[in-house]
Structure formats: C-alpha cells, structure tokens
A and B are shown apart, each in its own frame.
Chain A
C-alpha cells in the first residue's frame, strides 16, 4: 500500500509543480523560455501535468486504497500476486509515459485526440497504465466471494461494497479507452495502419473520459462515507443511502460520456437531448451525498458539543488535518457540482465549451475533492502504515488550507475568465502583448486571480510534500499503530456496524452486516445484475452515436505539430 501511495504522490508532485507555470501563462507571464532545457513549450508542460495528475496519481492511489481498505474491513488477505502485478503494469506504463513526454515526442495533452500523433511509447505506456488500473476488480471479486461464502445471507460490508461498485464501474468504463488504444492508436503509432478516424477515437475516449471523473470521485466518497464520520467523532447517518449513491453513480456515469461532444458534428440532436437528461441525473447521487455527509458531520459536531445553527460546524475537529482536508474538499465540491450542472445544460455549454471554465470546473472537483481527500487520507495512513507520527500537524493543516484557498481563487478566476471566451489549454502568454490585450484584456482581473491561485497552490504543494516525505523518512517511530477509522452506521434498523471496540490490527474490523433489514440495501446487493443493466444501457446509448461514424469512416493521417 505504501508503494502505491508513494508512487501516486510522486507523480502528483511532478505534475503539480508544473501547474503554477500554466496558471502564470493565463496571467500573461510566459515562464517557458527560461525553462527551455527542461520544457520546450507550455503544451509539453501541460501534457505532463494532465497525464501525471489525472491518470498516474489517481490510478495509483485508488488501486492501493480500494484493495487495502476492503481487505482490512473484511479481515482477508488480498491476492498479493495480482495486486503486485497491477503495480508493475502501472509503473511500467508510467515510466514509458514520462519518457515519451519529457523528450517532447508526445505533447498531445491528456486527451491525446487523434490525428495529433504521439510516439508509440506514449500510447503503449497509456495502454499498460489503463490495464493495470483494472487489476483491483478481480481482487475485490475474489475477496467478496470468500467473505460471502463464510457469512451466508449477510450483506457486503459498506467499504467493500463501495469499492467494488467503483471498480465495476471502472471495469466497464475503461473499455472505451482501451479499445481506442488497442484498436486505433497502438497499431497506428507502430505503423501497422497509416490513418485513423478522429471522431471515433474521440467518442471512444469520452466513453471512458466521462466515467473517469467518477473513478476520481468515488474513492474520495469511499473515504467520506466509510471513514470521515468516525474521524470527526460521529456516525454515518445512512448506510443504504451510501450504497444507493454508488449504484446511481455507476448506472448514470457510463452512458453519458458523449455530453463532452455536444458541440461535435455528426450525430443526432435527439441523442444530445437524452444525454442532457441522463447527465442531470448524475447530480442526484452527489446531492444525496451532500445531505448524508453533511448530516453525519452535523451529528459529529453536536456530539462534540456544538450548539445552534452553525455551532456544530465550528465544533468539528478542525485541528485534525485528516478531517479538515476532507471537510474543505467537500465544500469546494459544492461549487464543482454547481458548475457541472451548467456544463451539462447543452445551451449553456455552448458558451463555456472548451473555455477555461472547464478546467476551472475540474480543478474544484478532481483537483480539490480527490486531491485533498487523498492528501487527508495520507495524513492518517502514512502513520498507520509506517508507525511514524506526522512530523508537523501544523504544516499539514497549512497545506490543506492553502490548497483550499489557492484552488478557490484559481477556480473563481478560471470560471469567470471562461465567460469571456478565454480558451482552455492555450499558450496565450506567448502572444504579442497587443494581441493578448485585444483578445483577453477584458478578462484581466479573473486571469490575474488564476495566476495568484496558482502561486498559492504551489506553496500548498510544497508544505504537503515536506510533511509527506518528512514523515516517511524522519517521523518519530512509535509502538502504537492507529487503526483504520472505519465508520459505524447510524440508528437501529439500518445499522450494519458491529459495535465492537477496535482493539488492534488483528481484529477483523469495519462495517460488518447485521442480518439485512433494509430492503433497499438488500436489493442493491445484486451487483452482477446492476452491472449487466448498465452495460446494456451504455451499449444502447453508444450504438446510435457511433453508427453514423462507423458508416462514414474518415482516413486521417497523423500530424506532429508541436
């Protein structure tokens, strides 16, 4: 687990240190000529930033977390051979990606849309990384089968259930990108085919590219539902609602990927309309989460003595960086969710599509919800795994507050500037000053905010890595290892928790099911049927979209133009 944690956060470190350069670019400051020996262009830096933060960082942390937590919850050993081979696949993929990005042969950004043509090393690395990230699925299925066999008739414990649904979702979702890579891009880059169909590649990419945001989000939700309420000193208000949320995310995230293509030509407006309705439905599970997590935190705050309308919020254990990070992450997600609804709204999307409104949105979602939650998780997990205590709780707190502040300023600027039509991923600081002024002069204030936010984020990154690597290397060793803070569910009827004290590591811990009394939770136990249903709906959504593309193939040659 520690290896996954270190690999993931190392990727984030490289990726995040490049981020502020891009923020400065939007502020009109062109730092790239000074960096020429390392980075040839803004676009090369942006490719590294996107691939490392979006894929490598999240895949490593998630593949570790979603095996480790369920294994501890069930008290079972995961299949270590599989888990390690997943790690090796992803590590090999990540190294190939790094190689091909740093030699500037593959500055195609993290979306790698053909017919821009990266090197074969890039596509093969991406293929290995994607395949490696699916490995937790068979491990989880095997552990769950063993557990169910020993405890017949009982419901899967919550953390395992949530992890399994996340991996099932990802298993289905990754079909799109893996197909694009294996069928289109790998043979094309290796020279077996000379042309590629851009719109099919794009559609397959978004088949994965949309659910991937839930692959970023759901592991954070696992921590919010499965751990946070206990860390905050309370209980989870509703276990069946947590299950329902995960299933809804699973079902609705898959068929809607083409809402990233509202502005693409070539498929029917009727499908665009259906996509709008489905996309709006994805907001439902997130709003349920807002309610359940909010209420669980309120309960914790009141148990800790908070009074009145807002007293409970103040009474939360803010001095614990593991809690503070997650609560702040949840707050940023309110804005992330709201702007997501804007983008899903078809007509509104015409105004913001591919402007920096979009990266504004995903920085207050994946860039805060996921990144901050994973940072907060590392604050208890590193001591838990190494037996060393955090070298500085204050610095850890500073890093999450600075991240929160920096990301808020940055995202405010990005959303605002997006409304003036400032495009995303454009090296606008390389334009002649007069041209920059004519085009984007009216967005001067928001663009300055982007740059300031970027600098604050760089400070946050620095604080975090001092704590993270400092603790691993120099933290003082203790004999007592903190147990995993598995939450207990609330109430009589719908509780699955065993109210045993968590004594030491050998006790099987976690939310273990009482004989099921909630019909909802029992229905949701049929994950196989849910997967099948989602697969059918996804196929039904994609066949009409891909149909005209497959019947009108375009043979586009590759371009290397950076």
Chain B
C-alpha cells in the first residue's frame, strides 16, 4: 500500500470529475430506461395477443365451471382458423386435458378456477395467466410448432401442486 496519502488536491480533482461524470451517467441511465420502456410497450401493443384480459366476473366461484362451454370440455371452432378452449383449474388437475389443437391456428383460452388460485403456464410458450376463482381470464396464442406442450400449474395450490399438469397436443397442420 502507498504510504504517501493523496492530499486535498487529489480529493478536489476527484470531486470535480465525479460531479461531471455523475451528470453524464444520469443522462445515460434515463435515456436507457426510456428506450426500454418504449421497447417493451411497442412489443405489448404489436403483439397484443398474449396480454391477459379479464372476460367475466362471478360472485360464486363455481358458477363459470357450470356453464356449458366449460362443461363440454371441447375445443370450439369460432372462425376459419380460430378456436376457443374453456379451461378449468381445480384441485389438482386441468380440465379438459389432454386437448388437441391445430398448428398455426389462433387459440383463445378462457381460464378460471373453482377453488384456490392456480397458474396457467404452458411450458415453452408465453402463455401465463393466473386462474382466479370467480374471474374468467383470457389469453390468445398461436402454436407454430407441433408437439406436446405441458400445462404447468405455477401458483401454489396445495400438497399435490407439483402434479397438476395438463397436456396440449398440437397436431401438424395438414397441407391442402
């Protein structure tokens, strides 16, 4: 270690330079954060599909699951290449599961829970939606690759939480 301690001149010079750099740093940081915010906003708007939305509220948490769409457990065609899936999370399974959907189709999931909170996460995708009792949430997605996808519950829901796994099988689009 240097025995000769730097004097007040060093301290003064260091302080002057510190103040100058401080301004530059804050300017850079603010610019960076503005760009990041603008960037993430742009993606949210541009790729609006995966934004979680609320579809309906119910006073009785078991009410939505009694509706026909949820009870049928079928993939419902709503357009030329658009489908709806009504998914209920309950202790400790997803229903309906497994389901088959088509590669490249626009799938809208309607998700609710009849008991506690569950997390509707489809592994390997951006689908991530909290299943809240009494609220039907919705999220849209387009599976571009065929294969088996797992629905993983990612909100703690009791002792068998880790085993609450569902399956979505994406069938390859047939060439016509």
Q: In terms of DSSP, what is the predominant structure of the interface of chain B?
A: mixed
Most A CB within 10 A of own CB, among B15, B153, B156, B157: B156
Query: Which of B51-59, B70-78, B79-87, B100-108 makes up part of the contact surface?
Result: B51-59
Query: Does A258 belong to the interface (CB within 8 Å)?
Result: no
- Flag if B117 contacts A198 (CB, 8 Å): yes
- Given that A237-B15, A346-B44 are contacting pairs, would A554 and B133 also be in contact in the complex, using a CB cutoff of 8 Å? yes
- Flag if B40 contacts A276 (CB, 8 Å): yes
Query: Does A374 belong to the interface (CB within 8 Å)?
Result: no
Complex CA gap A295/B111 in Å reads: 51
- Flag if B29 contacts A288 (CB, 8 Å): yes
- Given that A347-B44, A439-B152, A561-B158 are contacting pairs, would A421 and B124 also be in contact in the complex, using a CB cutoff of 8 Å? yes
Write the B126-140 contact mask toward A (1 if CB under 8 angstroms, else 0): 111110111111100
- Given that A291-B22, A423-B119 are contacting pairs, would A348 and B55 also be in contact in the complex, using a CB cutoff of 8 Å? no
**Which positions 231-252 of chain A face chain B at CB distance < 8 Å?**
235, 237-238, 241
Size of A's binding interface in residues, CB under 8 A: 78
Chain B residues near A552 (CB, 8 Å)? 57-59, 134-135
Chain B residues near A384 (CB, 8 Å)? none
- Flag if A295 contacts B18 (CB, 8 Å): yes
Q: Which of B12, B130, B159 contacts A561 (CB 8 A)?
A: B159
Size of B's binding interface in residues, CB under 8 A: 71
- Flag if B53 contacts A269 (CB, 8 Å): yes
**A50 → chain B closest CB, angstroms:** 11
Chain A residues near B119 (CB, 8 Å)? 263, 353-354, 423
Complex CA gap A267/B3 in Å reads: 64
Q: Which of B6, B22, B54 contacts A265 (CB 8 A)?
A: B54
**Which positions 128-159 of chain A face chain B at CB distance < 8 Å?**
none
- Flag if B54 contacts A280 (CB, 8 Å): no
- Flag if B54 contacts A562 (CB, 8 Å): no
Chain B residues near A561 (CB, 8 Å)? 91, 115-116, 157-159
**A437 → chain B closest CB, angstroms:** 13
Write the A313-348 contact mask toward B (1 if CB under 8 angstroms, else 0): 001000000000000000000000000010001111
- Flag if A423 contacts B154 (CB, 8 Å): yes
Query: Does A363 belong to the interface (CB within 8 Å)?
Result: no
Chain A residues near B15 (CB, 8 Å)? 237, 490-492
Q: Which of A198, A266, A345 contacts B137 (CB 8 A)?
A: A266
Query: Does A536 belong to the interface (CB within 8 Å)?
Result: no
- Given that A302-B6, A353-B154 are contacting pairs, would A265 and B52 also be in contact in the complex, using a CB cutoff of 8 Å? yes
Complex CA gap A276/B1 in Å reads: 47
Query: Does B50 belong to the interface (CB within 8 Å)?
Result: yes
Write the A500-542 contact mask toward B (1 if CB under 8 angstroms, else 0): 0000000000000000000000000000000000000000000
Write the B1-41 contact mask toward A (1 if CB under 8 angstroms, else 0): 11101100011101100110110011001100100110011
Q: Which residue of B lies closest to A557 (CB)?
A: B61
Query: Does B144 belong to the interface (CB within 8 Å)?
Result: no
Q: Which residue of B lies closest to A283 (CB)?
A: B33
- Given that A237-B18, A555-B60 are contacting pairs, would A263 and B156 also be in contact in the complex, using a CB cutoff of 8 Å? no
Chain A residues near B67 (CB, 8 Å)? none
- Flag if A265 contacts B128 (CB, 8 Å): no
Chain A residues near B135 (CB, 8 Å)? 199, 265-266, 552, 554
Chain A residues near B58 (CB, 8 Å)? 552, 554
Complex CA gap A304/B6 in Å reads: 9
- Flag if B91 contacts A354 (CB, 8 Å): no
Provide 25 A-B residue pairs closer than 8 Å at the C-beta atoms, listed in order of the A residue.
A113-B116, A113-B117, A115-B116, A199-B132, A262-B52, A263-B128, A263-B130, A265-B55, A281-B33, A284-B30, A287-B25, A299-B14, A302-B6, A304-B2, A347-B126, A350-B126, A353-B154, A420-B123, A421-B123, A428-B162, A491-B12, A552-B58, A554-B59, A554-B60, A555-B60
A residues within 8 Å of B by Cβ?
Answer: 41, 43, 108-109, 111, 113, 115-116, 197-199, 202, 235, 237-238, 241, 261-267, 269, 272-273, 276-277, 280-281, 283-284, 287-288, 291-292, 295, 299, 302-305, 315, 341, 345-351, 353-355, 420-421, 423-428, 430-431, 435, 439, 490-492, 548, 552-556, 559, 561-562
